[in-house]
Amino acid sequence: MQADNNNSLKKDRPAGLERRWFGYLLLGLYVLLVSVPVILAYLTRPGGMVGFLGFARGLALTGFTLLALQVPLGSRLKFIDRPWGLDAVMRFHKWMGMLAVALLLLHPLMLLVTYAHDMGLGYGAGFGMLRGVYGGIITLALLLAVVFFALFIRRIGWDYQHWRYKHKFTTMTVVVLGFAHGLREGTVMPWPLKIYLWGLFLAAAGLFLYRNIYMIFWGRSRWTVTSVTSETHDTSTLSLQPAGGECPSYRPGQFVCLRLNRPGRPSEEHPFTLSSSPTSAPRLTVTVKESGDFTDTISQTCTGDQALIDGPFGRFSFQFDSPESFIFVAGGVGITPLLSMLRYLRDTEDNRRAVLVYANTTEEDIIRREELENMPPNITAAHVLNGPPDGWGGYVGYVNKEILRDCAGDLLPMADVYLCGPPPMMDAVEGELRELNVPRRRIHSERFAL
């Protein structure tokens, strides 16, 4: 048993671009790219980077650089996804966007202070001079609109797909306007800095065209739906085969961005976790719950429908962590990445112990119950129902520390926990696990923020 476990641990270890050290290298490169404009400005024109005016210029240079770097962060580049996971990259994308807006808002305020004090002008005259910079004002207004709608899209109730395209194209418009404004107003900008900013702008524009033209029309792999299986009253599994080419290699638990081309029915791109194991290649499966305008029609998908897939993405897989044993906790359709991992453990005859705690509202909501209960002896499943039927002999209520201790008490000191379900459930279970002294580094989860 120990020898089998050691072999499994070796197979789990990430390689190459998936390693964390590569992620930290990318992070260091990001910091360097953000810092270079201010460094170049100071080295080539040190007198222009002192006082309020120099600070205002530094804010503008740093803010524009952060804004231009939003394009690669939002382009689903696999070499960025591999060490961090796309969910973490998108959260970083959000926070860096907010930082860029803050710096670019401070830029005109610092110019106002400069005009009012360094040049001996009143605040009224300062406002008058700022009103003359129409390009910068329009750019800033558009940028504020981008951030506002990104933060409040759910409360406003806009369709996510339509907003996503508006968000991308408006952001790129802001980059173009900001670049033009900087060249127009920075008449004494030294040539090394101009070359750097031109390179930054062209790289952002090139990546934008790659993501939104090349990838849309030619970059995604083509697939054919070969079967549609009803799992529960509101959940279906689509099985797909490549329509030419090969199945991309992936790790159990990863997800893809899938677009179904279905004549007469909604066709949108959405992230879906692969419920299949890599051992089933070239076949892929996605298990989808009806929970929105597009997914409500998932059961209407027909055999022979075509699909486009971009991916795989994500780091929610035990193969990135090399655990000794596993505790899987799922809520509803959150079972899909865990099902992929469990199937992989079964198919590769991995003898490490695993316990699944699976929460649902009713007995009818349980996905693949028979398969889960017929796993190898080293894999056990326990069900928790919030609305159990009469005579239910399993756990009742919500997943808590008592249930976790009862199901997997002997594994808690050493097992890695993989958690997927509705966000409130994940928050609650993480709190219960911490009360059971499970360290944060052994609790793994993934939250889509695409």
Q: What is the pLDDT of residues 153-182, one digit of tens each?
A: 666 666 666 667 777 777 788 888 778 777
Pairing of the two strands 306-313 and 221-232? antiparallel
- Same domain flag for 75 and 86: yes
Residue 8 lies in a domain: no
What average pLDDT does this structure show over 282-300? 86
Residue 5 lies in a domain: no
Residue 36 lies in a domain: yes
Boundary (domain end) residue, out of 218, 249, 282: 218
Give me the number of domains the chain comprises: 3
Chain centre to alpha carbon of residue 427:
18
CA-to-CA distance for 418 and 439, rounded, in angstroms? 13
- Same domain flag for 303 and 324: no
- Same domain flag for 381 and 273: no
Boundary (domain end) residue, out of 190, 218, 246: 218
Which of 214, 160, 171, 253 has its CA nearest to residue 449? Answer: 160
Residue 10 lies in a domain: no
Which domain range does residue 119 map to? 16-218
- Same domain flag for 341 and 417: yes
- Same domain flag for 428 and 382: yes
Q: Write the CATH number for 292.
A: 2.40.30.10
Output the pLDDT for position 33.
96
Output the pLDDT for position 116.
60
- Same domain flag for 53 and 201: yes
Q: Write the CATH number for 413.
A: 3.40.50.80
What average pLDDT does this structure show over 130-135? 51
Residue 234 lies in a domain: yes
Give the percent of the chain with pLDDT over 70.
84
Boundary (domain end) residue, out of 218, 233, 255: 218
- Same domain flag for 79 and 206: yes
Residue 273 lies in a domain: yes
Residue 450 lies in a domain: no
- Same domain flag for 102 and 205: yes
Q: 379 or 299: which carries more pLDDT confidence?
A: 379
Q: How many CB atoms lie within 10 A of CB 79?
A: 12
- Same domain flag for 343 and 441: yes
Reply yes or no on whether the pLDDT at 391 is more than 50. yes
Burial of 390 (0-12, 13-18, 19+ CB in 10 A): exposed
pLDDT in tens, 181-221: 777 765 567 888 999 999 999 999 999 999 989 998 888 99
Residues 6+ apart with CB under 8 A from 69: 30, 33, 34, 96, 200, 204
pLDDT in tens, 224-234: 999 999 999 99
pLDDT in tens, 36-74: 999 998 888 776 666 777 888 889 899 999 999 999 999
Burial of 310 (0-12, 13-18, 19+ CB in 10 A): buried
Q: What is the mean pLDDT of the chain?
A: 85
- Same domain flag for 48 and 134: yes
Residue 137 is given by DSSP the state H
CA-to-CA distance for 344 and 349, rounded, in angstroms? 8
- Same domain flag for 398 and 266: no
Output the pLDDT for position 125.
46
- Same domain flag for 332 and 355: yes
pLDDT in tens, 428-448: 999 999 999 999 999 999 876
What average pLDDT does this structure show over 279-303? 87
